[in-house]
């Protein structure tokens, strides 16, 4: 029976897959708890979602979750295929962002003015990187807004710290210095409070490397969004207390409420396995191909290295070939997510033979299922936060090749703090790849597996009923419930 009095939440992700997925999981969980949710995708992402989703069956399972779509601000015929890196710079530039903001405000007004079925929105949950867009609307209409920062607590803390220094003008100088001294001093440790020697200058979230030509647009974007985000009265994080306790405590001094509710995909499994028969998974924007699972079924236990560099990063041809040679020469079986059009036509014969014998390359897999598969023994990853959490929960070691944004911070935590993997520190020379694959899959596998299993248990425990993440989620549900208009 529909409860038309239930609170209505408007959810706005950053239009990027790695951000949409956790926000969509959260939306399904909130709607399952009886709240009404309008999930706002861009037209392009919404169309992709519709292509791969049986919407009628979805609405039967989630009657409290509706969809709305708005522009991403780019011209209709702007190419949006391939790695997000191809068009992300445009997405975050001022023109497209203001068009998106305008349409989001119009949508909000429409929902306030005439929504016969549901109450007007009483809360907005937006990606931390959409903070400048929602902050004004939340203030204007007197509704609370809670940012969901889809990075780790550590990286969130680092970006807040860096943004404040930028605002004060201190880091502007230091940043030039960082770039200037990077040749000599990139390995010296930063003095970000609370992190000891964990991060070196070269591990700081790269405001510049994502987009060299428009460095200042990119940097300004992150700073403005972060400085707006810290004005919110709460923060949602996809992490768990046992993993990042001291940093979560520090964030709690900035945000009166910090809801650490991760790993969200595991919390999702806990709640849906316990309370209903619903199995609807991630709302992927791409077609799921199960052939990778069939291939894994024929491999020996813990023998396969799973390889994926996520949805944003694009390897150069040179990097791709170095990785490929290293993988083939390691003599370990590998499952590699790679877009077909990146694979060169004329391959060196040794790669063709080695891949035929031990490799499987495919453009998209059900990653959570792959990581959970008994045949997978390790993960060569770009250290995106979702991938890191998905691997943590499966208790498998990581070989990290981070390149942009939060990835170097995540990778440093994996190798230096949690000790569940190795950091390639930017190199992808074929001999180093070969050696490090052997280290992860053979020489050091036992010790990494041991620490990975310990952290995996903590991750599972935190999402069990009465675990900290479960408890924080219930608190979030309650908080929103009290904010009915
Ligand atoms: C981006 C940034 O790269 C990352 O640093 C940030 O933390 C989030 O946004 P992305 O490159 O998409 O993320 O990486 P990641 O966060 O790991 O997310 C990728 C998601 O795609 C994962 O949830 C993974 O399960 C999924 N995926 C990837 C698949 O389902 N199938 C695949 O074949 C590859």
Model pLDDT, residue 209: 41
Model pLDDT, residue 217: 64
Model pLDDT, residue 180: 41
Model pLDDT, residue 211: 39
Taking the centre of ligand 1 as the mean of its atom positions, its distance from the CA of residue 282, in whole angstroms, is: 12
Query: What Å distances lie between residue 216 and 80, 219, 268, CA to CA?
Result: 23, 5, 38
Model pLDDT, residue 170: 66
Closest ligand 1 atom to residue 371 Cα is 25
Ligand 1 pocket test: which of 310, 335, 368, 379 has the largest number of ligand atoms within 8 Å of its C-beta?
310
Model pLDDT, residue 214: 52
Model pLDDT, residue 47: 92
Which of the residues in the chain have pLDDT under 50? 1, 173-182, 208-213, 277-278
Model pLDDT, residue 283: 64
Residue with the smallest CA separation from ligand 1 atom 23 is 386
C-beta of 365 in contact with ligand 1 (< 6 A): yes
Taking the centre of ligand 1 as the mean of its atom positions, its distance from the CA of residue 386, in whole angstroms, is: 6
Model pLDDT, residue 184: 56
Closest ligand 1 atom to residue 406 Cα is 5
Taking the centre of ligand 1 as the mean of its atom positions, its distance from the CA of residue 139, in whole angstroms, is: 32
Proportion of the chain above pLDDT 70, given as a percent? 90
Model pLDDT, residue 172: 52
pTM of the shown model: 0.94
C-beta of 30 in contact with ligand 1 (< 6 A): no
Q: What is the pLDDT of residues 87-120, one digit of tens each?
A: 777 788 888 999 999 999 999 999 998 767 789 9
C-beta of 473 in contact with ligand 1 (< 6 A): no
Closest ligand 1 atom to residue 284 Cα is 30
Model pLDDT, residue 181: 46
C-beta of 48 in contact with ligand 1 (< 6 A): no
Nearest CA to 479 among 304, 326, 261, 277?
261
Model pLDDT, residue 363: 92
């Amino acid at each position: 029976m529909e409860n038309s009095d239930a609170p209505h939440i408007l959810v706005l992700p950053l239009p990027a897959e790695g951000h949409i997925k956790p926000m969509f999981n959260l939306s399904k969980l909130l709607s399952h708890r009886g709240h009404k949710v309008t999930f706002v995708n861009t037209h392009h992402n919404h169309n992709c979602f519709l292509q791969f989703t049986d919407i009628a069956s979805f609405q039967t399972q989630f009657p409290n979750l509706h969809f709305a779509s708005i522009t991403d601000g780019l011209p209709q015929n702007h190419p949006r295929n391939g790695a997000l890196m191809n068009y992300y710079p445009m997405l975050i530039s001022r023109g497209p962002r203001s068009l998106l903001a305008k349409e989001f405000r119009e949508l909000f007004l429409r929902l306030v003015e005439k929504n016969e079925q549901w109450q007007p929105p009483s809360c907005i949950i937006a990606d931390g990187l959409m903070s400048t867009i929602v902050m004004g609307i939340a203030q204007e209409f007197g509704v609370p807004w809670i940012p969901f920062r889809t990075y780790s607590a550590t990286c969130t803390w680092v970006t807040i710290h860096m943004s404040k220094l930028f605002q004060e003008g201190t880091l502007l100088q230091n940043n030039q210095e960082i770039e200037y001294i990077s040749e000599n001093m990139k390995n010296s440790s930063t003095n970000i409070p609370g992190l000891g020697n964990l991060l070196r200058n070269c591990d700081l979230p790269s405001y510049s490397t994502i987009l060299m030509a428009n460095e200042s647009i990119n940097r300004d974007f992150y700073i403005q969004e972060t400085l707006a985000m810290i004005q919110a009265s709460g923060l949602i994080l996809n992490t768990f207390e046992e993993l990042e306790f001291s940093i979560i405590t520090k964030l709690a001094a900035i945000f009166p409420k910090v809801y650490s509710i991760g790993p969200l995909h595991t919390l999702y499994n806990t709640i849906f396995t316990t309370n209903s028969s619903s199995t609807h998974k991630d709302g992927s924007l791409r077609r799921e191909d199960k052939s990778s699972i069939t291939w894994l079924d024929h491999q020996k236990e813990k023998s396969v290295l799973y390889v994926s560099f996520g949805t944003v990063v694009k390897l150069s041809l040179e990097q791709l070939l170095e990785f490929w040679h290293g993988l083939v020469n390691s003599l370990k079986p590998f499952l590699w997510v790679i877009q077909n059009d990146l694979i060169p036509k004329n391959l060196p014969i040794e790669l063709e033979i080695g891949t035929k014998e031990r490799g499987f390359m495919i453009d998209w897999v059900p990653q959570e299922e792959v990581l959970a598969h008994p045949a997978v023994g390790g993960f060569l990853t770009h250290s995106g936060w979702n991938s890191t959490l998905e691997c943590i929960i499966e208790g498998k070691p990581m070989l990290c090749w981070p390149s942009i944004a939060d990835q170097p911070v995540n990778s440093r935590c994996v190798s230096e703090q949690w000790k569940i993997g190795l950091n390639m520190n930017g190199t992808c020379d074929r001999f180093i790849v070969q050696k490090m694959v052997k280290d992860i899959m053979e020489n050091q596998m036992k010790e990494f597996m041991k620490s990975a299993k310990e952290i995996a248990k903590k991750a599972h425990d935190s999402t069990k009923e009465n675990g900290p993440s479960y408890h924080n989620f219930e608190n979030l549900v309650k908080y929103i419930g009290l904010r009915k208009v």
